[in-house]
């Protein structure tokens, strides 16, 4: 591990915490038994706010947070967002250090990525660290019941121990939040970009939940290569690859292979454009989506729902 990477790890380590959870469940004999869990988190505000994964703290009856200096204290869940696997926990503590947050919009494939976790707190004498590179950006992954969008892919190992902890760059700035919830991630890991996590955490801190319109598709930008490979009649738009079952898109009749070219009166030239148009739309109202399907242009009515 070179000197710059070690300096980056030392810079962020005081902000990385262990989160231990206890969830009450019933065993085979219907007895109430405690089920323990553990993950990591990163302090993002000296008021005691901690970013972590929703799957780590969701449903927990008790939380304990261990700081890098050995202090342990009770934590409270401020809010969770299962759609992004982001959660915010708060502790009442003084003399804590918030990590420096970077800008994930500027991530480049090939840059160094360092995954940090603190799965056993001060007992190990420091965090666990894996080093790799940013393998891809803007990845969309279909999980069992949801679609994770706009993820950072890295070959730095993401395991349950460092899930919820930060992915940092060589300057020690947090560029993403690690998640171990993504299936079939053998040899690769996925993280939530910090710009998205920052926006979600702000809503969780302000309102306790995130309300977002949901369309329920996975897609990619139409480009010259895609148009040539699939003999598309449209040179730009959002090419739909997957449609979630029981989603507004499915109910409206949007199918894989469709190209979304307009949402209401907004022209769509990319998946990012479609996400922004949906994000600015209202839940429960009727909207019009224009798609190219082969040589046909179809206008489909749909009603957006609140995201799962």
Of 81, 85, 169, 258, which one is the catalytic site residue? 85
Distance between CA atoms of residues 96 and 98, nearest Å: 7
Query: Over the stretch 65-96, which tens digit does the pLDDT of each residue have?
Result: 999 888 999 999 999 998 889 999 999 998 99
Mean pLDDT score across all residues of the chain: 87
Q: Which residue has the higher pLDDT, 56 or 30?
A: 56
pLDDT at 291 over 90: yes
Q: Which fold has domain 1-210?
A: Thrombin, subunit H (2.40.10)
In percent, how much of the chain has pLDDT > 90? 56
- Angle (CA) 156-241-179 rounded to 5° is 25
Query: Over the stretch 118-139, which tens digit does the pLDDT of each residue have?
Result: 765 545 556 788 999 999 998 8
- pLDDT for 248 equals 95
Of 15, 68, 163, 196, which one is the catalytic site residue? 163
The whole-number average pLDDT for the span 258-282 is 90
- pLDDT for 181 equals 64
Of 55, 247, 258, 287, which one is the catalytic site residue? 55
> Does 140 participate in catalysis according to the annotation?
no
Query: Over the stretch 133-188, which tens digit does the pLDDT of each residue have?
Result: 999 998 877 666 666 778 999 998 887 778 899 999 999 999 999 997 665 555 68
pLDDT at 233 over 90: no
> Does 163 participate in catalysis according to the annotation?
yes
Nearest to 219 by CA among 276, 260, 265, 278: 260
The whole-number average pLDDT for the span 275-280 is 88
DSSP three-state, residue 199 = helix
pLDDT at 29 over 80: no
Nearest to 218 by CA among 189, 252, 176, 249: 249
* Residue ranges per structural domain of the chain: 1-210, 213-306
Q: What is the dihedral of CA 135, 137, 138, 140, to 10 degrees?
A: 20
pLDDT at 35 over 70: no
- The CATH superfamily holding the domain 213-306 is PDZ domain (2.30.42.10)
């Amino acid at each position: 591990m070179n000197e710059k990477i070690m300096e980056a790890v030392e810079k962020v380590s005081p902000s990385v915490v262990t989160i231990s959870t206890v969830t009450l469940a019933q065993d085979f004999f219907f007895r109430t038994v405690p089920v323990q869990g553990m993950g990591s988190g990163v302090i993002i505000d000296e008021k005691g706010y901690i970013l972590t994964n929703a799957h780590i703290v969701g449903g927990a009856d008790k939380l304990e947070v261990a700081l890098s200096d050995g202090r342990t204290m009770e934590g409270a869940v401020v809010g969770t967002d299962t759609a992004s696997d982001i959660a915010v926990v708060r502790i009442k503590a003084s003399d804590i250090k918030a990590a420096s947050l970077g800008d994930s919009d500027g991530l480049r494939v090939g840059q160094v990525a360092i995954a940090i976790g603190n799965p056993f707190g001060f007992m190990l004498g420091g965090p666990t660290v894996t080093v790799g590179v940013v393998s891809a950006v803007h990845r969309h992954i279909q999980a069992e019941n949801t679609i994770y969008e706009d993820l950072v892919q890295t070959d730095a190992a993401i395991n349950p121990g460092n899930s919820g902890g930060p992915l940092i760059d060589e300057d020690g700035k947090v560029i993403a939040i690690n998640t171990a919830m993504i299936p079939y991630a053998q040899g690769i890991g996925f993280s939530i970009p910090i710009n998205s996590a920052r926006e979600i955490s702000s809503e969780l801190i302000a309102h306790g939940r995130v309300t977002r319109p949901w369309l329920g598709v996975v897609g990619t930008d139409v480009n010259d290569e895609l148009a040539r490979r699939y003999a598309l009649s449209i040179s730009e738009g959002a090419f739909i690859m997957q449609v979630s079952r029981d989603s507004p898109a499915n109910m409206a009749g949007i199918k894989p292979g469709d190209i979304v070219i307009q949402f209401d009166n907004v022209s769509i030239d990319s998946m990012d454009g479609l996400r922004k148009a949906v994000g600015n739309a209202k839940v429960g109202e009727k909207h019009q989506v224009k798609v190219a399907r082969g040589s046909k242009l179809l206008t489909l009515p749909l009603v957006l729902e609140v995201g799962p």
